[in-house]
Structures are given as C-alpha cells and as structure tokens.
Copies of this chain bind each other. A is one copy, B any other.
C-alpha cells in the first residue's frame, strides 16, 4: 500500500501526510491515531501497532502548530535579551532551566534598541508564547499592559520594567559596589575612583549612586573620583586622567560594568594597569589570563536566569499571585588586580 511516490505529479512541493492520511492507511479512525501519537494508554495493542506501521510507512510527523492552536498552549517561553550570540550566562541558565521544565526556549536579541525590543515582545505575544522573560531596555513598556491583562506572564530580568508591574529578578547593585569598595579599603586605599556606564541607564544610575554613598560613608569627598558616562575610549581616558593624575591621585579603581573594565584596561595599557588596584563590577571572559588576573564582584548570573524561569513558571501556574521582586547578591572573586596595596 501507499507505494506511490506522492500525490504530486510535477513540480509542486511534496505534501506532508496528515493524521487523516495515517488513519486511512492504518484503517482506523482519526481519533485513534491521535491517541497513539499522544501515548494515550487506552489503545489496544494491535491498533497501536497498525497505527505505528502506518506512521513509519508514510513518514508522518505531527504538525506542532495545529496541536498548539487546538490546545491553546505552545510549550514555549520567550526570552528577549540584549544579545543571544554573546556571552550571556543568564540566558544559558534560562535555556537549561526551561529544558529541565520541559519547555522550549525561543530567544531573540533586542540589541538594546527600543524599537527592536518592542517588535520582539509584540511578536512573542502574537505567537501566544506561554510566557516571556525580558531584559528590558526601553523607557515605557505600557504597551504591554493589554497583554498582561489578557493573561500573558512576563518576568523582567536585570532591570525593572517601567510603566507596568511585573515580577522581576536582578542583582543587588548597591551592595555589590559596596563590596568592591570595601575590598579595596582593606588594602589601604583611601582614594578610590569609579568609572562606569552613563546614569541614563538603570544599572549605571544605581551603581554610581551606590559608589557615591560608599565614598560618603567612608568620609571621602567625591571630587574627581566618580565618572559615570558613555563607555568610549575617549571618555574613559579623560575620566582616568582626572582620577589618576590630579592633585590627589586615586590609587584604586572600581569599574561599573564588563565593558567599562575592558575599555579601562585597553586605555591604561599593560604597564599602567598592572600598577593600579582594580576591582571590576561583573565578570570578564578569561579574566584569569590577564596580568594581573582580574578581581571582580561577579553577578550570580546563573542564579538570576534560573530565578527568572522559576518566577515565570510560578506566574503561569497562578496568574493571580502577588508580583514579586527578587534581589540577588554579588560575589567577590579575588584574582590579584584588587589586592595591589597602596
């Protein structure tokens, strides 16, 4: 049976067999095929065998789209993150946790562009994904309110969302900066400078503020020591000039992000970098290969990613639960650059 090549004569693309085709081939009802495909135990062994044979003979593959349309669930969650093809331990943790939970992950890069972010989020909503994790960037996410009202579970990661109230997990920026600062004071430093991202973005704002607070609590003035701003070689070089070569030079440095750390190292060059005490905020790839190896306060990225999925699962299970904000502490990793004494 079923020997003929395909129903098609000439050039048309081959048509895939459907459940109806399998049912006809096996001589059973559609419903029975569905039962076999879904491992329903209430099918007689000989029927099951006949169906299996037909499935193999026709190379039948169920159409997931139809299944999803009918059941209403996709078994897929979305992740809208800065970049999927860069080092992104949160995303790695999300992917693994999703897999452990039997969910497929659909990840897309916002590139930290507001328009792109919106495009991705709206697209995920149109696909009726079971839930969305977003590392938010844009300034107003009010356009998602109707989706939330319609029951779409959303979790924010690394930054809070603006204009809507959703579950959220992020690092304890303030205490991380404090850890970096106090680690350096332990090695005798009193003049400690900060270079980090611009205060227009949430994390840049939080970390600069925390550094100012640390300086104040330590009885230091802020003059020439705190340099949030655009991370470009020029801007970073100017900041370092002010901080390191002024009348009261800083002897130690806290950087506010991975990008800042790398730019600082490039601007300083190997000789200057090896003499200055540096604690980086956030891990740097292959930090152990640098000279000196880089001491950092690292975000618990894996924990953050895992928590994001857990928050999402909780909300999927109970849409009415109160909105929750989880804060994750950072951990100090000592490697050398932060232990250079005054």
* Chain A interface residues (CB < 8 Å from chain B): 11, 13-14, 16, 59, 61-66, 68-69, 74, 83-92, 95, 104-109, 122-123, 125-128, 146-147, 149-151, 262, 265-266, 270, 284-286, 288-291, 319-320
Contacts and interface: CB of A to CB of B under 8 A. Distances in A.
A320 B123 CA distance: 32
Q: How many copies, total?
A: 2
A127 B83 CA distance: 24
28 contacts: A13-B151, A14-B149, A14-B150, A14-B151, A59-B149, A61-B122, A63-B126, A63-B128, A64-B123, A64-B127, A65-B68, A65-B74, A65-B128, A69-B69, A84-B88, A84-B92, A85-B90, A92-B109, A95-B109, A104-B108, A104-B123, A105-B108, A106-B106, A262-B289, A266-B289, A285-B285, A285-B286, A289-B290
A87 B86 contact: yes
A14 B265 CA distance: 53
A57 to B, nearest CB: 11
Given A65-B65, A69-B66, A126-B63, A13 B319 contact: yes
A234 B86 CA distance: 28
A10 to B, nearest CB: 11
A319 to B, nearest CB: 6
Contacts of A126: 61-64
Contact of A95 (B65, B84, B88, B125): B84
B107 A84 contact: yes
Contacts of A107: 84, 107
B286 A262 contact: yes
Contacts of A151: 13-14, 16
A149 B14 CA distance: 8
B87 A87 contact: yes
Contacts of A84: 84-85, 88, 91-92, 95, 107
A284 B290 CA distance: 13
Contacts of A62: 126
A172 to B, nearest CB: 23
Contacts of A265: 289
Contact of A85 (B11, B89, B104, B123): B89
Contacts of A65: 65, 68-69, 74, 127-128
